[in-house]
Structure 1
Amino acid sequence: MEDHKQAKSIVIGELIKNKYKSIKRNYTPNDMNDDFGVTMGYTKAWRSRKKALCLVRGNPDDSYKKLPMYLYMLKQGNPGTITHLLTDKEDRFKYIYIAFSNSINGWRYLRPINVIDGTFLKNAHGGTLFSASTLDSNNNIFVLAFGIADFENDNSCLWFFSKLRDTYGEPKGLAIVSDKHKSIDNVVHMEFPNAFYGACMFHLLNNLKSKYGSHGEELQMNFIAAAKAYTKT
């Protein structure tokens, strides 16, 4: 038969679970057909993948319950690490913040530049990943802190920025750079009133391209030259 009804998703999940031990592996229905001679529709393939992931990595809902223990062990293994976990009235996950001790110790030797970004998460419960980073002496990315919240809104941004300030303070000459998200715009000067606040060159260039893309390479060349100039003129 075209769709093997006897090959249920839990059976297939058990067979392919080892394929998902690496987060980089993408196991497809075509791979199932090649390995086991089993053809299936998209829905069964998705259910099988979900079953396999649960067998290998556990249930996402149960993982949230282990966060307090994980944060405790994180601080035991990395003395000086700062973590915060916020839950709602029903003791359900809301926000998390983590700054490793190595990041905190390294900050004193780095330029006072803090690049803030937020990106959506692709998982069962969604959410937004916040990150704060700077550049080391080799111009490589040096992560300062990261956190997870439900959405990138005023409340979550204010909570993340307040924890960031508690961890790193506001050194003289601090510059904060972001993609100018509306919520970051609204709260950045509440926690860092004396910091210079600028727009990320990469994000701003992409916005210009989407609006004035017809100017092509000339637009990009002139924009980069202006962005890297040391004077307004």
Structure 2
Amino acid sequence: MLIDDTFVGTWVQLVTQSWPGAADAVMFHRVFWMFPPCIKAFNHCKPLISFDRTHLYGKYGGTLLMAIAQDGNANIFPIAFAMVEGETKEAWSFFLSYLRHHVTPQPGVLVISDKHKSIDAALNVDDSLWKPPHAFQAFCTRHIASNFMTHFKNKDLKKVLINAAYSKSQREFTHYFGRLRGENEAITKWLEEMPRSQYADEGRRFRHMTTNISECINAVMKGSRNLPITALVKSTYF
């Protein structure tokens, strides 16, 4: 759906649903939008996207989903948004589908996010264009470390885990991984449930080990969380 004659190329997909008890009436359900300058700029950026979401506190609630990129000069900017009913697999699938087809069709893009089950499930559905070789998935090191503390509650080994993730060579990684195995074999079994590429830097991350770039935009959007839908969309434009 192409809209807004004042900014040609803006693309919006609005989804409505039936109003309960009123056959001829519909109400807002979800909306995806993006602005053309950001899409053009992404062609010249690192092939990397950071995901984040923020819960809205206005009258109607909901969740704002965001995809964020960074250029070679370390400028951070959003490339797409969606307002959805909540953080579910279906909502993320809605966002990811339009993001892939209209914003980031390039092969080999890396996606960085936390380990929320709804994001992981949406990225890995059958015939997904977000799986290798079309795209690759990585997790935020800070969230991995947080999950580690939930399971093992060991601050010293948490630091070893982070050092392993940030390792710049196979030798360095092997050293830290060996320390984890020597301390507690359950830790290595826990890590081996994920491919190493999802928590360590194997050359696709451009040293982006966390979702900091998307959390920066999240902070910028903090003042918009209680706005009505139309006003919130306008705030992302400005």
What is the TM-score normalised by the length of structure 2? Answer: 0.60
Percent identity between the two aligned chains: 30
Structure holding more helix per residue: 1
Higher relative contact order (CA 8 A, sep 6+): 2
How many residue pairs align between the two structures? 160
Aligned partner (choices 148, 166, 172) of residue 208 of structure 1 = 148
Q: CA deviation at 1:205?
A: 2.3
CA distance in 2, matches of 1:142, 1:219: 35
> Does 1:78 pair with 2:39?
no
Q: CA deviation at 1:138?
A: 2.9
User: Please, which runs of 5 or more residues in structure 1 have no aligned partner?
Assistant: 1-67
Q: CA RMSD in A?
A: 2.3
> Does 1:119 pair with 2:54?
yes
Q: Aligned with 1:88: secondary structure?
A: strand
Amino acid across the alignment from 2:141: M
> Does 1:138 pair with 2:73?
yes
Q: CA deviation at 1:112?
A: 0.8
- Against the structure 1 CA distance between its residues 80 and 205, is the aligned structure 2 distance closer, same or farther, given a 3 Å change threshold? same
- Against the structure 1 CA distance between its residues 208 and 186, is the aligned structure 2 distance closer, same or farther, given a 3 Å change threshold? same
Deviation sequence 1:8-66 (CA, Å, 0-9, x none): xxxxxxxxxxxxxxxxxxxxxxxxxxxxxxxxxxxxxxxxxxxxxxxxxxxxxxxxxxx
- Against the structure 1 CA distance between its residues 124 and 178, is the aligned structure 2 distance closer, same or farther, given a 3 Å change threshold? same
Query: Which residue of structure 2 lines up, in the alignment, with residue 182 of structure 1?
Result: 117
Structure holding more strand per residue: 2
Deviation sequence 1:193-223 (CA, Å, 0-9, x none): 331111112222232344445x33x345323
CA distance in 1, matches of 2:37, 2:28: 26
CA contact 1:121–1:127 (8 Å) conserved in 2? yes
Query: Which residue of structure 2 lines up, in the alignment, with residue 106 of structure 1?
Result: 41
Q: Aligned with 2:147: secondary structure?
A: helix
- Against the structure 1 CA distance between its residues 224 and 141, is the aligned structure 2 distance closer, same or farther, given a 3 Å change threshold? farther
User: Please, which runs of 5 or more residues in structure 2 have no aligned partner?
Assistant: 20-25, 175-238
CA distance in 1, matches of 2:90, 2:32: 14
Q: CA deviation at 1:129?
A: 1.0
Q: CA deviation at 1:124?
A: 1.6
Q: CA deviation at 1:115?
A: 1.3
Q: Aligned with 1:139: secondary structure?
A: coil
- Against the structure 1 CA distance between its residues 139 and 101, is the aligned structure 2 distance closer, same or farther, given a 3 Å change threshold? same
- Against the structure 1 CA distance between its residues 220 and 142, is the aligned structure 2 distance closer, same or farther, given a 3 Å change threshold? farther
What is the TM-score normalised by the length of structure 1? Answer: 0.61
CA distance in 2, matches of 1:163, 1:125: 24
CA distance in 2, matches of 1:180, 1:77: 39
Query: Which residue of structure 1 lines up, in the alignment, with residue 107 of structure 2?
Result: 172
